[in-house]
């Protein structure tokens, strides 16, 4: 038994691979990033109904009051593909540490920006429809995870750390601590800048449409009523049917005005809808003039 143990120890080089390394930490964080894609990042409350929003919600789109509020955005699948790609990359041995670190930092940086823009967009849509918007703890934890991955990857890129560096060794190096603090401050500044820009874009996009969607004001609390709502989102008072019908008529009238001077007639024989200047019916060939 002792000889076999000695042989095994000799075959393994007499050393046991460290477990708490930067590489393993990045692997765990990347897996967490995959899980967070399916967790509710935002809560949108409208007319007493609470909607949990995550990246997959954006992929499939969202409907309310019988109409599509958010069109499907399959491109949001990238928020799932990026952490999956990083996880796979960290298990591939043929790439050097520097190359892996560059790719991880790039992927997580892009993923971070997408999530910040996604938050601003969802908030803008919620405000456009006079709904309450809340950011959940899942979102903030996800942001922290991505920031840590970017910071650690940049430390490897700058040769302050290596993927095989153990976490206890990080805190024993004053130079490494200083470099990490500087990179953390830079990443935070970038995050704040992107958040500000994304918020401005979402506000500019939704400002015009939100005014056009107001069909009246609640008789009880005075809050604006958005098109498509049957109850006040502030106090729950039912919207008068006359207000809803008037809004429908207004929309139809505006739609007709947008078609310009183009007018239509109907075929006397088959009833098909034709342009006013049509000489013959396009469906049955009946002579119109």
Domain parsing of the chain, residue ranges: 19-206, 214-258
Tell me what pLDDT residue 45 has: 84
Tell me what pLDDT residue 2 has: 45
Q: What is the pTM (predicted TM-score) of this model?
A: 0.58
Where are the alpha helices (H) located in 37-131, listed in sequence order? Answer: 55-60, 78-89, 97-128
* Tokens representing residue 54 in the block: 């995550």
Contacts of 109 (CB under 8 A, 6+ apart): 150
Note down pLDDT in tens along the chain; length 289 residues: 444 444 444 444 445 677 788 899 999 999 999 999 999 999 988 767 788 888 988 888 776 555 666 778 888 899 999 999 999 999 998 888 889 999 999 999 999 999 999 999 888 888 877 788 899 999 999 999 999 999 889 888 888 888 888 877 666 655 555 555 655 665 566 556 555 555 554 454 444 444 457 777 777 777 777 777 777 777 778 888 888 888 787 777 776 665 554 566 777 777 777 777 777 787 777 777 6
SS3 35: helix
Tell me what pLDDT residue 1 has: 42
Query: Distance (Å, rounded) from C-alpha 216 to C-alpha 240?
Result: 10
Tell me what pLDDT residue 185 has: 61
Tell me what pLDDT residue 205 has: 44
Query: Distance (Å, rounded) from C-alpha 65 to C-alpha 77?
Result: 26
44's enclosing H/E stretch is: strand 42-46
- Residue 182 φ then ψ, to 5°: -65, -45
Q: Which residues pair with 275 in a beta bridge?
A: 264
């Amino acid at each position: 038994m002792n000889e076999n143990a000695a042989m095994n120890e000799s075959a393994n080089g007499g050393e046991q691979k460290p477990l708490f390394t930067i590489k393993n930490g990045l692997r765990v964080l990347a897996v967490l990033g995959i899980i967070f894609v399916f967790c509710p990042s935002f809560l949108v409350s409208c007319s007493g109904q609470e909607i949990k929003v995550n990246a997959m919600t954006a992929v499939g789109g969202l409907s309310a009051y019988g109409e599509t509020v958010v069109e499907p955005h399959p491109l949001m699948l990238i928020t799932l593909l990026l952490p999956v790609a990083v996880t796979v990359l960290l298990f591939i041995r043929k790439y050097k540490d520097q190359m892996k670190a560059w790719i991880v930092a790039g992927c997580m940086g892009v993923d971070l920006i997408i999530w910040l823009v996604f938050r601003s967009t969802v908030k803008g849509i919620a405000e456009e429809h006079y709904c309450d918007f809340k950011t959940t703890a899942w979102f903030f934890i996800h942001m922290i995870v991505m920031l840590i991955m970017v910071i650690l990857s940049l430390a490897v890129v700058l040769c302050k750390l290596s993927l095989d560096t153990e976490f206890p060794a990080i805190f024993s190096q004053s130079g490494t601590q200083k470099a990490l603090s500087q990179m953390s401050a830079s990443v935070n500044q970038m995050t704040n800048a992107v958040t500000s820009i994304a918020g401005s874009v979402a506000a500019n996009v939704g400002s015009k449409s939100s005014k056009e969607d107001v069909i009246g004001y609640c008789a009880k609390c005075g809050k604006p009523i958005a098109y498509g709502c049957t109850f006040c989102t502030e106090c729950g008072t039912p919207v008068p049917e006359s207000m809803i019908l008037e809004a429908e008529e207004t929309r139809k009238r505006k739609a007709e005005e947008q078609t310009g001077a183009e007018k239509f007639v109907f075929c006397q024989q088959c009833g098909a809808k034709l342009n006013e200047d049509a000489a013959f019916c396009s469906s049955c060939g009946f002579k119109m003039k």
